[in-house]
Amino acid sequence: MSLSRIWEEFEANGRLSQRSIRELREALHSADPYDAITVATDCGERELVPDILLCLDSPDPMVRWNAIASIYTRFRVPERLDTLIRLATEEDSIMVRAVAIEGIGQTLPKVKDPHLRRKMAELLMSTFENDEEQWDSAYLGILAAVDVLPLDMPPANKPLDRNQIDPTKLKEFREQYLAGSPAD
């Protein structure tokens, strides 16, 4: 199996054959699924989300980072949110924690349970206000939660400065997710 062959198939056809999807699934269950996560995500193969979700438990922080980015920031799938919250708060790797925090904001609009939505919103706001290491990831999550599209976000390749904060977006976030009781 060649991931580059699978990518070429997608580029040529705009979709993957069932054989390639099976091969990607096998690669996602291999000892090093990092590249398979990337290919599955870039090909938009949502049917592989359950297989990518298993990668959240990988001992390799790069695999966890890529799985979080795929599931929560690209596909925005509100599943295993308890794991996402744990990775956002307890993960040793700052890089994994950062993408998990942003992923909370990306998935927040899709969360139906009002108590879980409130918990996730409070975590984002608390991280933004109190965590000097991760405030910028929380801000990007806040922007995503209020539906700021990726091209309207601050550039990912430049450090974010607190002077770039849009107070109207923070107000919108508070009103949408933190006003009143969790049932509001």
Q: Write the DSSP assignment of 153-169 as a string of letters.
A: SPPTTS---GGG--HHH
Write the pLDDT tens digit of every residue in 114-155: 999 999 999 999 999 999 999 999 999 999 999 999 999 998
What proportion of the chain, given as a percentage, has pLDDT over 90? 90
The amino acid occupying position 21 is I
- On whether the CB atoms of residues 137 and 68 are closer than 8 A, the answer is no
The pLDDT, as a whole number, for residue 48 is: 98
Place of tokens 């904001």: 105
What's the whole-number mean pLDDT along residues 18-29?
Answer: 97
Among the listed residues 41, 85, 89, the one whose alpha carbon sits nearest the alpha carbon of residue 63? 41
The pLDDT, as a whole number, for residue 1 is: 62
Q: Confidence band (pLDDT; 50, 70, 90) for 184?
A: very low
Write the pLDDT tens digit of every residue in 95-106: 999 999 999 999
Instruction: Give the largest Cα separation in the chain, rounded.
Output: 53
Report CA-CA distances (Å) from 120 to 50, 117, 180.
22, 5, 15
In this predicted structure, the answer to whether residue 180 has a pLDDT above a threshold of 90 is no
Residue 69 — φ and ψ, nearest 5°?
A: -60, -40
Alpha helices by DSSP H, listed for the chain, are: 3-13, 18-28, 34-42, 49-54, 61-68, 81-90, 94-107, 114-130, 135-145, 167-173
In this predicted structure, the answer to whether residue 9 has a pLDDT above a threshold of 90 is yes
